Amino acid sequence: MDTELDFYSRPQRLTPECFQAWTAMKLAAHESGVTIFLISAFRSIAYQHQLIAKKLAAGQSIDTILQVNAPPGFSEHHTGRAVDIGTFNCDALVEEFDKTEAFQWLNNNAEGYGFSLSYPRDNCFGIAYEPWHWCFKKC
């Protein structure tokens, strides 16, 4: 289903359960004075493909790209259950997100809403540390 518009005013899509959980979590964060917002949610396989093609065209090697972007068909964003989260005073999708109040809050509270960090530091998937990427897993 469609979510609120993201930071860049694009509509995003999530599964209804995930969207509900995200909304509840966002409100709870706001109540404790922490701002979190959607940077991106669902991505189609075609979009993921474009993203990678664009980086290849810009001269990045496929190895470098696949450290940060899952190959088309393998991204958790295809499931409609993953969200990239941002906050104020922090660039989008940077490791420094883990120094923010928002990240602290998520660390302490996100689990209660069914969200967990997909790619912690030194994760077993060989994917770069992504403190902003949280996946909804409660069934």
Which of 43-51, 60-68, 78-86, 94-102 is the region at the interface with Zn ion (rule: CB under 5 A)? 78-86
Instruction: Tell me the CA end-to-end span of the chain in Å, nearest whole number.
Output: 17
Q: Is residue 84 involved in binding Zn ion (CB under 5 A)?
A: yes
Q: Is residue 26 involved in binding Zn ion (CB under 5 A)?
A: no
Q: Is residue 133 involved in binding Zn ion (CB under 5 A)?
A: yes
DSSP line for 20-62: HHHHHHHHHHHHTT---EEEE----HHHHHHHHHHHHHTT--H
> 60 or 78: whose CB is closer to Zn ion?
78
As a whole number of angstroms, the distance between CA 119 and CA 4 comes to: 25
Q: Is residue 12 involved in binding Zn ion (CB under 5 A)?
A: no
> 34 or 77: whose CB is closer to Zn ion?
77
Mention every residue, 6+ apart, whose C-beta is less than 8 A from residue 122.
Answer: 129
Question: In the stretch 106-125, what mask flags binding to Zn ion with x, by CB under 5 A?
Answer: --------------------
Q: Which residues bind Zn ion (CB under 5 A)?
A: 84, 133
